[in-house]
Structure 1
Amino acid sequence: MLKLPWIRIWLVTCALCSGISFEAHAQDNPAPDLSNDTLIDGLPETLLPWRDPNNPNVQLLDKGWNKYYLRKDMMGDNPKREPGPIDLQRYHVLPTKHAFPTYFGLPYAMTTEDLIAGEVDVALVGAPSSFNPSAGTGWAANYMRLIHNYDFAQTGHDMWFNNQYFDLLNIVDYGNANQHPSLMVQNFADQALVFKEILEGGAMPMVIGGEHGTQVASLLALYSHFGPKSFTVVHFDAHTDLAPPDGRLGMFTHGGAALRWAHEQGLINGDQIFHVGLRGAYESVERMNWMQDTKTNYYFMPRFERNGFEETAQELFEELKGRRIYISIDVDVMDPSVVPGTSNPETGGFTSLQMMKLLRGLMLQNEVIMVDWTEYSPLLDDRRRNTANTISRLQRHMFAAMAARKEGITDPNYVHPAMLKDNSAEN
């Protein structure tokens, strides 16, 4: 079991109590060996310090605390069937507003066996977490199944790639993870198990949160499946989400501290973290120093503004070339004019067109092992539900890029020639 850095905590406490200025210089820590860990409910014990009975900071839970996490036997409790995705739509041509509400009207999968049998490429899964002072993120997972656009189920064509991505990829709706109304970190662990099922089925999870605590669950699943220090995190966010230990509200970690916590535990090196779109109004010199000490990569919005979006995007693609990546998207990375329905809006963000460029470039160039979308609040969205529509369109664009990569296209700047041709001279 990984132990807390008690000496560091003692030194910081003494410094604070005495009024002495104290600054710890962060550095990369050795990776824990998860291979010999005891599994606690399916995850290595090192990843779950809140379940360590010898840790004095563990929350005591009464009998029945795990009621929200008890699973049905999806094969045994239902009529017998062969494994594989189930198409819940009755008609061949079906507007999504008339369709049974799955993501994009897609088939539904319940188990890892369904994913394997269906040779699924992407599994969309909801993580309706709402541990956030701003209300509404818990509704996002289901609301994204009810997009207010005149779309058609299981149908899509992309104008950058000239492909019909749902014909080229096997994509399913994998339902939702549950949430206990009071137990934040326990929810992370249960969500991680659902995401891990998808990874074990050979599919890429695309998670619809939820507040950014979803990132903790994503990291738990990925480290459990791939191992520590085995991938790079590309974190699209207006905010660093690098809360120090004294800013974690008494929790081991939360949505505003996931990457820093992972670094403290030796699960990731600083140079495996890329922050993109930073401009938040409540960061600090301490967090800047931490990023510099750990050699964390960061792309602040002033860099895009001063050097130009296109040049800076190319620098990002070049730095990430050849890396296996997990993409975590807090929708507040975009400007509030684009995504009004977010928990912590910050002016000066990306346009939707710029976001399309960044996401498709990474989906083309890199091996992407997971994507999560967080901090969408339907309760804060405008009447047209523009935030939901923007997220949905960006997801479609990522599918199209993923389909193009499957066909061998890896240039992050690729656009289908037909989309750039001017026919005016020929007509």
Structure 2
Amino acid sequence: MPEFLHPNFLGLPEEYTRLETARAIVLPIPYEATVSYEAGTRRGPAAILEASAQVELYDREFDDEPALHYGVHTLPALLPNFASPEAMVADIAEAVAMYAQPGRLLVVLGGEHTITAGVMQGVAQVYGEPLTMVQLDAHADLRNEFEGSPYSHACVARRVLDAGYGEVLQLGIRSVCTEEMDVIRREERVRVWFAEDVHMRPLQQTLDELAERVRGKRVHLTIDVDGLDPSIVPTTGTPEPGGLTWYQTLAIVRTVAEAADVVSVDCVELSPRAGLHMADFAVAKLLYKTMNYVLMKA
């Protein structure tokens, strides 16, 4: 499938995809410039969209086909700006500010994690601050710079902190450096549930604390697919063992959606490979579940 050919998410009939009426807006951003291990995230958005056409619309949790109630419009891909990561972040912020609006959920498909800095900028322009970021990830992404760039994928949470939007709440982290641990220990706006915290203690304890921290707040949810265990999503640039299970991930997303006002979501770092489309499908299904939790809540 060509990298910039993007069908509508879920392959919905035209009547459910109109920009004027759809409550879910999907923005593909196939940007990849600072990946430090295995490349391929630029192909992530196209793979997600292609796989999404195979996802069943019926959701047993809702005993319904939720997408037919809220509708999904997929925008043309935002083409990469390779002048610099900073220039790309500015382009993303401008595009996001055009489409993020109350009553709708903006869902951004990456691409590398750098895109989140631009998404947060654009969402903050529309909604103002504070804006909490909930991050599912294997990595803390709290370095001040990496490989010479402060806008590396490994620095995105640090850039969000520096911008002063609000808290950064991270779940599933299992790979950090000394610099990042220093930030985690000293920064009151950062709360990390390491992967072993989620696995080794009752899940409800984590969910209860998470719910209290986000209750009533505006939230941007960023899902780095390497936050999930590689048995679910093996095709990511920097896979780490010991990740979140499928049902842990759904419980976390459901908790955030029920307690907070989730205004935007991004999903990043899928690096699709031939013969391993199970990962593309899992990510597409996770995004559909996320839309359902946010847009169908009572």
**Alignment TM-score > 0.5, same fold:** yes
Larger displacement relative to structure 2 (229-238 or 255-264): 255-264
What aligned pairs does 1:80-159 form with structure 2 within 5 A after superposition? Answer: 101-106=7-12, 115=19, 118-131=20-33, 132-133=35-36, 134-147=38-51, 150-151=54-55, 156-159=57-60
Partner of residue 206, structure 1: 107
SS state of the match for residue 287, structure 2? helix
Written as runs of structure 1 = structure 2, the 5 A alignment for 1:273-292 is 273-280=168-175, 283-292=176-185
Tell me the distance in 2 between the aligned counterparts of 1:276 and 1:144. 23
Aligned counterparts of 2:151 and 2:54: Cα–Cα separation in 1: 40
Name the amino acid aligned to 1:225: V
1:268 aligns with 2:165: yes
Map 1:245-394 onto structure 2 (within 5 A). Answer: 247-265=145-163, 267-269=164-166, 272-280=167-175, 283-295=176-188, 296-379=190-273, 383-394=275-286
Residues 284 and 106 of structure 1: is their aligned pair in 2 closer, same or farther, counting only changes over 3 Å?
same
For the pair 1:395 / 2:292, whether they are aligned, the reply is no
Match of 1:161 among 58, 62, 65: 62
Q: Name the aligned partner's letter for residue 178 of structure 2.
A: V
Following the alignment from structure 1 to structure 2, what is the Cα–Cα distance between the partners of residues 164 and 400? 9
Cα distance in 2 for partners of 1:185, 1:286 equals 22
Question: What does 1:210-221 correspond to in 2, within 5 Å?
Answer: 210-221=111-122
Distance 2:272 2:146 in 1: 26
For 2:125, which of 213, 217, 224 is the aligned residue? 224
1:222-256 Cα distance to aligned partner (Å, 9 max, x none) = 222223x4211001111100012xx3333342321
TM-score in terms of structure 1 length? 0.63
**How many angstroms does 1:365 deviate by?**
2.5
Q: CA RMSD in A?
A: 2.3
Q: How far 1:141 moved relative to its partner?
A: 1.2
Summarize the Cα distance change of 1:207–1:107 in structure 2 as closer, same or farther, 3 Å threshold: farther
- Give 1:384 shift: 4.0
* Residue 394 of structure 1, CA deviation: 0.9
> Partner of 2:90 in structure 1?
189
* Structure-2 change in CA distance of 1:252 and 1:349 (3 Å): closer
User: Aligned AA for 1:248?
Assistant: F
- Per the alignment, in what secondary structure is the counterpart of residue 373 of structure 1? strand
**Structure 1 residues 258 and 161, CA, compared in 2 at 3 Å: closer, same or farther?**
same
Gap regions ≥5 residues in structure 1: 1-99, 409-427
Instruction: Return closer, same or farther for 1:198/1:397 CA change in 2, 3 Å cut-off.
Output: same
Query: Contact 2:51/2:280 (CA < 8 Å) preserved in 1?
Result: yes
Alpha-carbon offset, residue 148 of structure 1: 7.8
CA distance in structure 2 between the aligned counterparts of 1:148 and 1:370, rounded to whole angstroms: 19
What is the rounded CA distance, in whole Å, between the counterparts of 1:305 and 1:345 in structure 2? 18
Q: What's the CA shift for 1:317?
A: 2.0
Give, in whole Å, the separation in 2 of the partners of 1:148 and 1:122: 14
Task: Report if aligned partners of 2:102, 2:263 keep a CA contact under 8 Å in 1.
Answer: no
Aligned counterpart for 2:133 among listed residues 224, 233, 236: 233
SS of the residue 2:236 aligns to: coil
Contact 1:332-1:346 at 8 Å conserved across structures: yes
The whole-number CA distance in structure 2 between the counterparts of 1:107 and 1:235 is: 32
Q: Is the 8 A contact 2:9 2:52 kept in 1?
A: no
* Change in CA separation of 1:345 and 1:108 when aligned onto 2, cut-off 3 Å: farther
Unaligned regions of 5+ residues in structure 2, if any?
A: 1-5
Report % sequence identity: 23
How many Å separate the matches in 1 of 2:54 and 2:187? 47
In structure 2, do the counterparts of structure 1 residues 196 and 361 end up closer, same or farther at CA, with 3 Å as the change threshold? same
Using CA pairs below 8 Å that are at least 6 residues apart, which structure has the higher relative contact order? 2
CA contact (8 A) 1:120 1:202 kept: no
Q: Helix, strand or coil: the match of 2:296? A: helix
Aligned residues: 288
Q: Which amino acid aligns with 2:256?
A: L
- Length-normalised TM-score, structure 2: 0.88
**Cα offset, 1:321, TM superposition:** 1.7
- Report if the CA contact (8 A) 1:106-1:173 is conserved: no
What CA distance in whole angstroms lies between the structure 2 residues aligned with 1:331 and 1:173? 21
